[in-house]
Amino acid sequence: MAGRVRGRRSDKGRMHVFKGIPYGAAPVGERRWAPPAPVEPWEDVRSCTKAPPTAWQLGTGMQEFVGRLAQGLGMSAIKSAAMAKAITMLPSNEDEDCLYLNVRAPAAAADLPVMVWIHGGDHTDGSANEPMYQSNALPERGCVLVTINYRLGMFGFLSHPELSAASPDGISGNYGLLDQIAALEWVRDNIAGFGGDPDNVTVFGESAGGMAVLNLMTSPTARGLFHKAIAQSPADTGRWLHLNRPVMELPASADAGVAFATSLVGPEAGQIERLRAMTAEELSAAYRADAHAARFFYPVVDGHHLPMEPMSAFSTGSQAPVPLLIGYNADEASLFTGYLHPAGPEFGPAPELVGAPPLDGDAVRRALVVSHGSEDAVAALTAAYPGLERGEASAVENHAADHLFGVHVDHASRTHHRVGAPCYRYHFRSTSPLPGQTAGAYHAAEIVHVFGSTVPLMPVADDGHLLTRAMGDHWFAFAATGTPDHPGRPAWPAFDESDPVHMVFDRPRSGPEPCPTQPGLDVLRARIEHLTAQLVTPSLDLRTGTVTVADPPADTPKRGWRRRKAAAG
């Protein structure tokens, strides 16, 4: 570490809490849109007792989500308004200087398992400082908990040819992913000083954080930095973006970066220099005002840090063969209806959200053919989700839940089992106890149970604490041992593709159940295989660590394509 740090005691001295430990130098000036750099050492003891700055946020989608959540929980209009206002008014302290992490450890910690949390928020919002992550419930069981901030949105994932030209690897984007890797390197090098075991690290996250976990599992750069993985509702947004080639209706990420830069500083060469001369406030305002550009600032297949799209990597068995716990919620899209494109996020938001006319059935079907590759595949999809091509709300919601979340869980668990790696699957079904609730087991509902935390004004069931204890026990057991079995809890069978079973978390009872047959997931898995086969993707040999990128088709620009070596550790 770059110097000594001072935290604070909590829970009557039983817990040591450190907030705002820097793991990377401030990514400002010439370090804006560059890999994280080491922290400058300091001499005095650094006070780490206050929440660190958060990354710049996109903000718009999060406000909509919170408003819908408050209504969907079945609360009164007054309480809904109060909850929405309370959450959206939480201080954020946005700053480019955001590469900080927080540590919670028992006072007498020594060689404890380490759990590293990556927050959700669509890679555009969220923070390690959010109240629901500030609980001692997991470390009280006997682990060291680390929560991290990393660069988001345009600051974390801008691709551009000028940035690629300056890179020794000929690539750009993925700076937020590199931040996550730098944080894991910090854990490897420093966590023993906080009582953690650097050889027993579990990385876990939800939504964008869940997809980040799968990204890390398929990144050669991250290999060996963690030993177990938990992906909660791994999300889809931006999943098929490639640095130098279009996919479906997604442009090459580098081209999208040029378009965004041109809109701000003109088309002449030197765009990155002029963008770096702008203030963070100016850039953030432009980013928030451009709903079209905001779609393209996500982790990107760059042929190096992400050799291929993560679901494709799982298809080829290229993921890290670490124990994996993965699952999703029963009503993932209940709060998203009305601003989703029926064919998926690759085709943009719902037209009504950006002031465009509603899509007709032919337009939806054309997009589905582009996505799935044939009329026969689309016929199977619309049979599984009747009314999807007409944009019916229930069909769009059910399809979105599977397209955005469920198919990742299904595909990853099946392909992880095929490589012989341990995998444990769950399905979360608990709902608000209020009779007027409409949100169901909504996206992110499981987080408070995993962390054993509370959210102001959120309704809590009388027996909710039993579910919370069960989930915390299983998550801790997995981090400690690689299996989620805990004394006094139902045994959690490992996933087997020939006899698929998942653990159901619900009130008043949780336990293992056979995974139900879901024709929609079968069609969506076939879509992944179709897209994987259509893309020019590299292969990773886990034995030698060699990443080979084939030449692109003749009509594909060769910018950035090459053969590369990477450590597979």
Q: Which of 151, 115, 154, 457 is nearest to 285 (CA)?
A: 154
pLDDT at 83 over 80: no
pLDDT at 553 over 70: no
- Report the helix count and the strand count for the chain, using DSSP H and E: 18, 16
Domain layout of the chain by residue ranges: 55-487+517-538
Please report the pLDDT score of residue 248 as a whole number: 87
Percent of the chain with pLDDT over 70: 91
Confidence of residue 54 (pLDDT cuts 50, 70, 90): very high
pLDDT at 563 over 80: no
Per-residue pLDDT, averaged over 534-545, amounts to: 42
Please report the pLDDT score of residue 455 as a whole number: 82
pLDDT at 564 over 70: no
Q: Are 54 and 94 in contact (CB under 8 A)?
A: yes
Q: Which of 446, 429, 352 is nearest to 393 (CA)?
A: 352
pTM of the model: 0.92
Amino acid 339 reads: Y
Give 310-329 pLDDT, tens digit per residue.
999 999 999 999 999 999 99
Q: What's the CA gap between 548 and 535, in Å, rounded?
A: 14
Catalytic-labelled residue, pool 159, 207, 334, 430: 207
The rounded radius of gyration (Å) of the Cα atoms in the chain is 22
Tell me if residue 130 is catalytic. Answer: no
Distance of CA 42 to the CA centre of its chain: 33
Give 518-527 pLDDT, tens digit per residue.
999 999 999 9
DSSP 406: I
Catalytic-labelled residue, pool 372, 417, 443, 449: 443
Per-residue pLDDT, averaged over 190-196, amounts to: 97
Paired strand residues for 420: none
The HSE-up count of residue 547 (CA atoms within 13 Å, CB side) is 26
Sign of the alpha-carbon dihedral angle for 75, 78, 79, 85 = positive
The fold of 55-487+517-538 is: Rossmann fold (3.40.50)
Per-residue pLDDT, averaged over 203-224, amounts to: 97
Tell me if residue 513 is catalytic. Answer: no
Confidence of residue 372 (pLDDT cuts 50, 70, 90): very high
Please report the pLDDT score of residue 560 as a whole number: 29
Strands 228-232 and 196-206: parallel
Distance of CA 138 to the CA centre of its chain: 21
pLDDT at 336 over 50: yes
Catalytic-labelled residue, pool 96, 162, 309, 332: 332
Q: What's the CA gap between 299 and 394, in Å, rounded?
A: 30
Average pLDDT, the chain: 89
DSSP 45: P
Per-residue pLDDT, averaged over 212-224, amounts to: 97
Per-residue pLDDT, averaged over 460-488, amounts to: 96
Least confidently predicted of 150-154, 238-242, 257-261, 394-398: 238-242
Contacts of 63 (CB under 8 A, 6+ apart): 88
Beta-carbon neighbour count of residue 284 at 10 Å? 20
Query: Phi, psi (5° rounding) for residue 77?
Result: -60, -40
Strands 8-10 and 144-148: unpaired
Tell me if residue 207 is catalytic. Answer: yes
Least confidently predicted of 139-148, 369-378, 530-539: 530-539
Q: Which of 495, 457, 336 is nearest to 405 (CA)?
A: 336
Highest mean pLDDT among 46-50, 75-79, 307-311: 46-50
Contacts of 281 (CB under 8 A, 6+ apart): none
Q: In what order do the strands lie in the sheet with 539-541?
A: 539-541, 546-548, 564-565
Give 493-525 pLDDT, tens digit per residue.
999 999 999 999 999 999 999 999 999 999 999
